[in-house]
Chains A and B, each alone.
Chain A
Amino acid sequence: DTGVSQDPRHKITKRGQNVTFRCDPISEHNRLYWYRQTLGQGPEFLTYFQNEAQLEKSRLLSDRFSAERPKGSFSTLEIQRTEQGDSAMYLCASSFGGAANEQFFGPGTRLTVL
């Protein structure tokens, strides 16, 4: 399967714990996006990378959130000191070339903070 993959698919954690999610984009894609989606809403942009450079960060991405894409391939999204409001689906997408090109989404990581 050469689509976008995300790991884990589900994560349950207690408030205050740190969590890390991984995204493996389609191999030739240079752009990688992270989104957050809560129930009943569309995805909200969090951040995006072009190759290994993080070029945009949403104001939604507080200091507790950090994302990396160290070699321009896979990416990680870490949330420190999780809060109940962080409970959501975290989606990763990748694309090749310009912003208007098709994004391919992964299946997401469902985070539940107890």
Chain B
Amino acid sequence: TQLLEQSPQFLSIQEGENLTVYCNSSSVFSSLQWYRQEPGEGPVLLVTVVTGGEVKKLKRLTFQFGDARKDSSLHITAAQPGDTGLYLCAHVYNFNKFYFGSGTKLNVKP
């Protein structure tokens, strides 16, 4: 497996602030996925990035895949309490298995 390191581990911010979380590795990936997991629920896929340098936007969320396809970032603009959750990045390996990072736990205070 190829390790995915996510940072920061925890982030607590006020509503309206901007934030960026990171997913890094020393390995090159064909694609990376980002998920959000709310307490007591399973993860929900937010986006898949496949091309080096790719930027994808999902409302206030902006995802970027590094040029070398070794890292990715998620930027949230004007965070809202509904953005609270565990943000996970993941990659597919050996064609069939998904490896997840340990996640960034985000708390957005009203």
Contact = CB atoms under 8 A, between A and B. Distances in A.
A103 B101 CA distance: 16
Interface residues of A, number: 25
Given A42-B90, A56-B96, A56-B97, A103 B45 contact: yes
A33 B42 CA distance: 13
Report the contact-size class of chain B (Cβ under 8 Å from the partner): 20 to 34
B40 interface: yes
Nearest to B42: A105
A105 B88 CA distance: 13
Contact of A42 (B41, B48, B94, B101): B101
Contacts of B48: 100, 102
Contacts of A110: 40
Contacts of B101: 42
